[in-house]
Structure 1
Amino acid sequence: MNTEKRLTKAYENAAVEYFDKNSKYIIFSDVHRGDDSVSDEFARNQAVFHHVLNYYYKKGYIYVEAGDGDELWEHKNFKHIRLAHKDIFIVLKKYFDSDKLRMIYGNHNIYLKDKKYVKKHYYQFYDEYNQQRVDLFNGIVPIEALLLKHKVTEQEILIVHGHQGDLINDQFWRISMLLLRYFWRFLHIVGFENPSSPARNLYKRHKVEKNYNKWIKKHKVMLICGHTHRPKFPKKYDLPYFNTGCCINTRGIPGIEIADDSIQMVDWRIKVGKDGFMRIDRTVVRGPEPIDKYDCKNINDFNDLKPNCSDIYDE
């Protein structure tokens, strides 16, 4: 099944949520929380991400995790991930308890598509200190897609992970998972890259992104996703394709904020001041732009828009 069919199916079956000027969303993708071993690429950014989550929680944002939050391909036992990053899950639980967590599954945590798996691993966990089971995300329902609809303008924004239609990471995900878990995971530690991943393969990444743009062109729906690990924010005359990037790069954690009927891309990273002290800084790298600027159905010259192919860090 190609990207056109898979994205369309995700769009048609998406969980619908209405938003307005007062709504606030922060979208991150590809966190890839691991077990804190040498193969856990998220571990180096854990402190930054913990600060970031607390920042948005205090400001009342809804957190949308757009797929691949937990690295379940490498570590099927979620317990090891939870224990390795328990501080992160404490904050995530605050979001969940406040009805401000939207968990979308991607290819690396596609196990969340299985209700039995979710109930067994995500609803509760055993607290060894108190020797009893306690709630984590009791009753959570991970989704494949989230469709935001504006209460006034009826503008639609589709949020998915972005693996839909990527053959080796979608239909044949089990093969990719086994190769990663028992082969590429260990080679990656010594410097080899997995060619099946669009995050590691430039040709594959561009092919996937071209398919996203074709879908936007045909269906006239603004799209936000992850998967390729490459941050995207459309420039003038670009199709409204946004990509959150990933949370495992050493150069920072990019994310997309939607608030006050505007959208912008931000970057969080550790910086050293003139006084020698290290601090975590938030920088707006693109935007803010009015959200209705990307309402495809109201853009007069929509057919003249071109694919969005440039990396924001390359400009």
Structure 2
Amino acid sequence: MSAYHRLDRAFLHALSLPLTTCSRYVLFSDCHRGCGTNNDNFLKNQNLCLAALQYYYDHGFTYIELGDGDELWENRSFDVIKSIHNHVFWMLSRFYCAGRLFLLYGNHDIVKNSSHFTSCHCSSYPCSTCQEEELFPGITFYSGLILKHTQGGKDLYLTHGHQADFFNSVLWPISRFLVRYVWQPLEQVGFLDPTSVAQNNTKKERIEHTLSDWALRRNCILITGHTHRPMLQKDSSYYNTGSCVHPRCITCIEIEGMQISLIKWTLATRPDFSLYVAREVLAGPFSLLS
């Protein structure tokens, strides 16, 4: 099966949400929340993510995560991840209770496509008082999601993007084995995983070309994660949210008032040398109206 067929399948029974002038969506991907060890790439940016989540919750945004939210290739236990990052899951649970949370799965958390997994692991989480609180009871993780344009413009198709990567989609059990038992131990002593798309520019460009070509063929706008490379260009058919594991920042895509923007959250310094979390527009806003 080709990458184009795998992408088609991701949207075969996709949930559709309305894209109107009143819509407020924020798209994150590739948080890779881990278990707090040296391999937890999310750990260094957890406070940036928490600040961003609070901002988007307070401003009425719907949070959509495009996969690889949790690092379930390197780590076996989702319960440990929830315990380590319980403050982030607390914020996500608030979005869920408000009906403003939609989660997709990627290759690193592909086990979330199992209803058995979600019923066993997603109903509760340990809060700070060591009591179990409701998390996402009854949640469904999606392979794709469509924002249906109500003003005659192009629909926005959201998925993780690993469908364009044969090794990380069709052969994902082998990839998971290598990451968990080969590359994770080597990463601790300084080696990089050569099979990782995030660390291989040649693979990034090949996958991005496939994703862009699929969007052109389907006459839609495709938004993914997976490559970790943020991308938003005017009149393009392919956008990328970036990730939450950049060295000094996290990136995301905002959609508000039929406009789309690429956003960076980072630490900044005031004139008195105090630190604060800053929101910076990297690209846009561009109109989504035809």
Same fold (TM over 0.5): yes
List runs of 5+ in structure 1 lacking aligned partners: 294-315
Question: Following superposition of structure 1 onto structure 2, how do residues 43-82 of structure 1 map, counting pairs within 5 Å?
Answer: 43-82=43-82
The sequence identity of aligned pairs, in percent, is 36
Q: How many matched pairs?
A: 290
Task: Kindly state the Cα deviation for residue 127 of structure 1 after the two structures are TM-superposed.
Answer: 7.1
- 1:152, 1:274 → 2: CA distance? 45
Question: What CA distance in whole angstroms lies between the structure 1 residues aligned with 2:228 and 2:125?
Answer: 31
1:214 matches 2:210: no
2:272 is aligned, of 264, 275, 282, to 275
State the 1:189 CA deviation. Answer: 2.1
TM-score by length of 1: 0.88
Q: How does 1:124-139 map to 2 (within 5 A)?
A: 124-125=124-125, 134-139=133-138
Matched to 2:289, the amino acid is D
Is the 8 Å Cα contact of residues 33 and 42 (structure 1) preserved in structure 2? Answer: yes
| TM-score, normalised relative to structure 2 | 0.96
DSSP-derived class of the 1:169 partner: helix
CA distance in 2, matches of 1:130, 1:167: 41
Is the contact between residue 107 and residue 170 of structure 1 (CA under 8 Å) also seen in structure 2? Answer: yes
Q: CA RMSD in A?
A: 1.6
**Map 1:78-227 → 2, pairs under 5 A:** 78-125=78-125, 134-153=133-152, 155-227=154-226
Distance in 2 between residues matched to 1:113 and 1:242, nearest whole Å: 24
Deviation per residue, 1:182-227 (Å, 9 max, x gap): 1111211222111211111111111101101111121111000000
- Could you say what secondary structure the match of 2:38 adopts? coil
Q: Which amino acid aligns with 1:73?
A: W
Mapped contact 1:195–1:201 kept (Cα < 8 A): yes
- Counterpart residue type for residue 55 of structure 1: Y
- In structure 2, how many angstroms separate the alpha carbons of the residues matched to 1:151 and 1:127? 40
Q: CA deviation at 1:152?
A: 3.0
Task: Say whether 1:257 aligns with 2:251.
Answer: no
In 1, distance between residues paired with 2:266 and 2:275?
10
Shift of 1:292: 2.2
| 1:274 positional shift | 2.0
Structure 2 residue runs of 5 or longer lacking an equivalent are none
**Deviation for aligned residue 1:285:** 1.0
> Partner of 1:245: helix, strand, or coil?
coil
2:222 alignment partner AA? L
Shift of 1:151: 2.3
Match status 1:288 vs 2:285: yes
Q: What's the counterpart of residue 6 of structure 2?
A: 6
